[in-house]
């Protein structure tokens, strides 16, 4: 019986969409999943700070190899921003470095927000996990060392003011992967001339998965205990459901799993999901226009 359970665990591959509670790191959540499933091969696709909550995608088994594609997808957040106060971490966990009165109207705030929409350069917070000379930026900042990070190109699709109760605002943020909402809060405060910091953050959506698709961690823990957690596991093929797909017959599945190409019709530069007739993810493939063949880039079905 134990051998059967081990064999089942070894073949499990999929996605858990978890509503991460505040107070836990993303790594803490992954550890809960590893213990609950007895599967060591698990990882998340985008860090949420302990202060933040919301959608955390955890990949299990061979599906972890999808991480680079899922983590690169757009995110949507609900950000709580407090104006009139600056901190060294750009959020409520840091040390206050200055306070100023807030004399900002709703119209001024909305106009300022639009200045951050589009493709912009953003400097990450000094207290971030970015590595500088082999050390995390926050480690250097905590030692009192001056941290200078290079700006990065990000894309903010939209910023909408949801609530305005001066000096506090709730903002809907739709942005590219790699955007630091803490930096947005700080930069917004600087633009308004009064300072600002992030006081709360909820990730509402990551790629195609929203908070409505997620399971609270508490409920997932209960499912681990009674053995029903499998019902929350989303097949790996659905994790990239927005991608174009090709369906392989059994002979083609056998060829692809051994790294061989298959003939077909495709578009250069567009990766596709190759799936079985039963809907299982076989591989990610791209198209060679010269030979008119799909070539495997990552194979999952073995």
Given this chain, do its domains 75-206 and 243-299 carry the same CATH topology?
Answer: no
109 vs 211: CA distance, rounded Å: 27
Q: What is the model's pLDDT at position 300?
A: 84
pLDDT higher for 120 or 94? 120
Lowest average pLDDT, out of 50-54, 102-106, 199-203, 237-241, goes to 237-241
| Domains of the chain, residue spans | 2-72+209-238, 75-206, 243-299
Task: Give the other-Cβ count within 10 Å of 266's Cβ.
Answer: 18
Helix, strand, coil percentages in the chain from 3-state DSSP, rounded to 5: 30, 35, 35
Which positions are catalytic? 49
Say if residues 177 and 75 touch (Cβ distance below 8 Å): yes
Confidence class of residue 4 from pLDDT cuts 50, 70 and 90? very low
Show the tokens assigned to 171: 């903002």
* pLDDT mean over 69-94: 94
Q: What is the model's pLDDT at position 140?
A: 54
Task: Give the other-Cβ count within 10 Å of 75's Cβ.
Answer: 23
Angle of the 106-114 helix axis to the 181-192 helix axis, nearest 10 = 120
pLDDT higher for 150 or 256? 256
Q: Which fold has domain 243-299?
A: 2.30.130
Q: Which fold has domain 75-206?
A: Pseudouridine synthase (3.30.2350)
Confidence class of residue 12 from pLDDT cuts 50, 70 and 90? confident
pLDDT at 11 over 80: no
pLDDT at 87 over 50: yes
Beta bridge partners of 120: 154
111-156: pLDDT as tens digits: 999 999 999 999 888 766 666 665 566 565 565 667 677 889 999 9
Say if residues 275 and 106 touch (Cβ distance below 8 Å): no
Taking the model in full, what pTM does it have? 0.89
Q: How far apart are the first and last CA of the chain?
A: 23
**Mean pLDDT of all residues in the chain?**
90
151-189: pLDDT as tens digits: 899 999 999 999 999 999 999 999 999 999 999 999 999
Using the structure block, give the residue that is written with the tokens 């996605």: 15
Domain 2-72+209-238 sits in CATH at: 3.30.2350.10
């Amino acid at each position: 019986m134990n051998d059967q359970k081990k064999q089942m665990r070894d073949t499990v591959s999929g996605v858990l969409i978890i509503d991460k509670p505040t107070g836990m790191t993303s790594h803490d959540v992954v550890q809960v999943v590893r213990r609950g499933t007895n599967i060591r091969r698990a990882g998340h696709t985008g860090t949420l700070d302990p202060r933040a909550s919301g959608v955390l995608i955890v990949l299990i088994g061979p599906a972890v190899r999808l991480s680079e594609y899922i983590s690169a997808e757009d995110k949507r957040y609900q950000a709580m921003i407090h104006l009139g106060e600056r901190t060294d971490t750009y959020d409520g966990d840091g040390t206050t470095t200055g306070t100023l009165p807030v004399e900002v109207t709703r119209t001024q705030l909305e106009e300022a927000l639009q200045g951050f929409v589009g493709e912009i350069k953003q400097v990450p917070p000094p207290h971030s996990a970015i590595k500088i000379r082999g050390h995390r930026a926050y480690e250097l900042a905590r030692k009192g060392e001056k941290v200078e990070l290079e700006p990065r190109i990000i894309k903010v699709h939209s910023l909408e003011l949801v609530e305005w109760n001066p000096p506090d605002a709730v903002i809907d943020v739709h942005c590219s992967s790699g955007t630091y909402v803490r930096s947005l809060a700080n930069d917004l405060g600087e633009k308004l001339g009064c300072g600002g910091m992030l006081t709360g953050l909820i990730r509402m959506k990551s790629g195609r998965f929203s908070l409505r698709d997620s399971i609270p961690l508490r409920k997932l823990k209960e499912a681990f205990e009674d053995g029903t957690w499998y019902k929350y596991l989303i097949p790996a093929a659905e994790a990239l459901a927005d991608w174009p797909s090709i369906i392989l017959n059994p002979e083609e599945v056998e060829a692809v799993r051994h790294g061989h190409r298959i003939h077909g019709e495709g578009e250069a530069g567009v990766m596709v999901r190759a799936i079985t007739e039963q809907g299982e993810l076989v591989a990610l493939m791209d198209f060679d226009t010269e030979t008119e063949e799909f070539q495997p880039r990552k194979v999952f079905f073995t």
